[in-house]
């Protein structure tokens, strides 16, 4: 009888926790969407306002047609960020934004990627 009572208490606690977390899911996703949208907007805006510097950086990375790519990526991040903030086509725009981030990580942060696989303790210790 004692064990049955304890199981009932744990089950009620679990059900309450699930209800609370379910209630908080939408506000949490809203906050995440607004934060990421703002970050993408600011990154794209920075690229577009400092186009020559961004073009030089892309040239140093060996990206072909660096000015064209700087304009394209800056515009994608800037307008994609606004779409995320407004909640318009957020699922659709997240695909090119994610691809952009993967490519940026593979090109601009190549050393960090190598360290992640070669010395993971060093990466996560910081």
Measured distance CA(88)–CA(36) in Å, rounded: 14
Q: Note the pLDDT of residue 124.
A: 66
Q: With the C-alpha atoms ordered 58, 63, 66, 72, is the resulting torsion angle positive or negative?
A: negative
Q: Tokens 């960020």 label which residue?
A: 81
Give the model confidence (pLDDT) of 96-110 as tens digits: 999 999 998 888 777
Which domain does 42 fall in, by range?
Answer: 26-125
Does residue 91 lie in a domain region? yes
Q: Note the pLDDT of residue 86.
A: 96
Q: Note the pLDDT of residue 31.
A: 96
Does residue 9 lie in a domain region? no
Does residue 48 lie in a domain region? yes
Show the low-confidence residues of the chain (pLDDT under 70). Answer: 1, 122-126
Q: Rounded to two decimals, what is the model's pTM?
A: 0.77
- In 3D space, the residue among 52, 85, 90 whose CA is nearest the CA of residue 71 turns out to be 52
Does residue 94 lie in a domain region? yes
Q: Note the pLDDT of residue 109.
A: 77
Contact (Cβ atoms closer than 8 angstroms) between residue 48 and residue 95: no
Domains contained in the chain, number: 1
Q: Hey, what are 93's tokens? A: 């725009």
Does residue 18 lie in a domain region? no
């Amino acid at each position: 009888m004692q064990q049955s009572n304890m199981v009932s208490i744990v089950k009620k606690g679990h059900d309450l926790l699930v209800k609370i977390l379910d209630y908080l899911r939408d506000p949490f996703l809203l906050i995440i969407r607004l934060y990421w949208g703002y970050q993408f907007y600011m990154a794209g805006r920075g690229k577009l306002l400092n186009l020559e510097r961004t073009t030089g950086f892309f040239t140093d990375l060996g990206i072909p047609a660096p000015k064209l790519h700087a304009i394209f990526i800056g515009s994608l991040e800037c307008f994609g960020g606004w779409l995320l903030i407004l909640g318009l086509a957020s699922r659709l725009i997240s695909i090119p934004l994610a691809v952009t981030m993967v490519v940026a990580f593979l090109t601009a942060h190549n050393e960090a990627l190598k360290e992640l696989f070669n010395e993971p303790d060093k990466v996560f210790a910081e």
